[in-house]
Amino acid sequence: MMAKTKIVQVASGTQLVNSHLRESYEVLALWEQADPQAFLAEHGKGVRGLVTTAGHGLKNEWLDSLPDLGVVSSFGVGYDTIDAGELKKRGIQLGNTPDVLNACVADLAVCLLLGSARQLVWGDRYVREGRWPVEGQFPLAQSVSGKNVGIVGLGGIGVEVARRLAGFDCEIRYHNRKARDDVSYGYEASLTGLAEWADYLVLTCVGGPSTHHLINREVLLALGRKGTVVNVSRGTVIDEAAMIELLQQDKLGFAALDVFEHEPDVPSALREHERVTLMPHSASATVETRLKMSQRVVDNLDRFFETGQVISRVV
C-alpha cells in the first residue's frame, strides 16, 4: 500500500474537511499539541501540505520546521493572518476559498445596510419590550432606494453588493487602488471624496497591513452625520476608536458591522449605541456557503497534489 501524503491541520475544520483529510492523507493535528512549535520541529520533515483557516492562519516561525511544505490551503477568503509574501519567497503555494462565498457575504452586507437604515433591530426590540402601546409611533427611519452607495474594494464581493443595490435604484461608485475597465460604475480615486458623496459606504476590501485603518477619522468625518458605514471586510480596516468617538459626538450617522478590530471583544460603546447594528463575523456563515468553502479547501489541496496547482491561488 502506498503511504499517504503527510499534512498538518492547524485547527479542526468542518465535518467535510475533517473526514476528507482523514480518508485521503496522514494528518498531523496541530490543535491537539501542547507545544505546536516543538511538535513541528520533531515531526515537520516530510509534511507536504498544511490546512488552516483565515482565523487561525499560519505562523512564520513554523515554516523552518516544514522544509518539504509545498501548499497551504486555507478556509476563508482573507489571508491577513498568513504571510503570503513569505510563502511566495519559499515557493509555497497558497490557496483560499474566494468566489464561492461572494454572494453570501454580499447578502449580509445588504442586509446590514437595510437593517441599519430601517432600524430593524431597534424596531424589533420596540415591539418585544412592549414600548409601542406606551410610547407610540416608532421614530422615522431612512430610505435606501435611490441613495448613493460607495463601495470600497470592488472585487468579487463588491460587485455582488453593487448588483444587488442597483435593484434599489441606488447610484454606485467605488474606490480601488486603480479603476476597473470592466464595470460601468463610477470610479472615485479619492476615498474621502467617495465618503463625502456617499450615503452608504460599504467596505468589501481585503484586510492586512495595506488596509489597516484605511477608513480613518478623516474618511468617517467626510461620510458624516448623513452617512452609514457598513463593514463586512475586516475589523482592522476601520479606526474603531475614531468611529466610536464620532458616533458619540453625533458626527457620524450609523454603523452596521459584521467585523471588529479585536474580535470577539466588541466595545460596550458599540454594543450599547442605538445607531449601531451588529453581527458576530458571520457574513459567510450559511450552511450552503460553508459547504462550498469546505469543498474548495479540499479541492485546492487535492488539485495541488494531482497537478501541481491549486484552484484558487493567492501566491
pTM > 0.75: yes or no: yes
Q: Say whether 222 sits in a helix, a strand or coil.
A: helix
Closest by alpha carbon to 97, among 61, 137, 51, 136? 51
Catalytic residue among 42, 129, 135, 263: 263
What does the pLDDT look like over 140-183, one tens digit per residue?
Answer: 999 999 999 999 999 999 999 999 999 999 999 999 999 999 99
Q: 134: how many CB neighbours lie within 10 A of its CB? A: 7
Catalytic residue among 212, 275, 281, 313: 281
Catalytic residue among 234, 290, 296, 303: 234
> Rounded to an integer, what distance in angstroms lies between the CA atom of residue 178 and that of residue 26?
44
Active site residue 281: yes
> Rounded to an integer, what distance in angstroms lies between the CA atom of residue 36 and that of residue 53?
16
> Rounded to an integer, what distance in angstroms lies between the CA atom of residue 139 and that of residue 126?
10
What does the pLDDT look like over 208-254, one tens digit per residue?
Answer: 999 999 999 999 999 999 999 999 999 999 999 999 999 999 999 99
Closest by alpha carbon to 111, among 169, 55, 168? 168
What does the pLDDT look like over 72-129, one tens digit per residue?
Answer: 999 999 899 999 999 999 999 999 999 999 999 999 999 999 999 999 999 999 999 9
> Rounded to an integer, what distance in angstroms lies between the CA atom of residue 196 and that of residue 221?
8
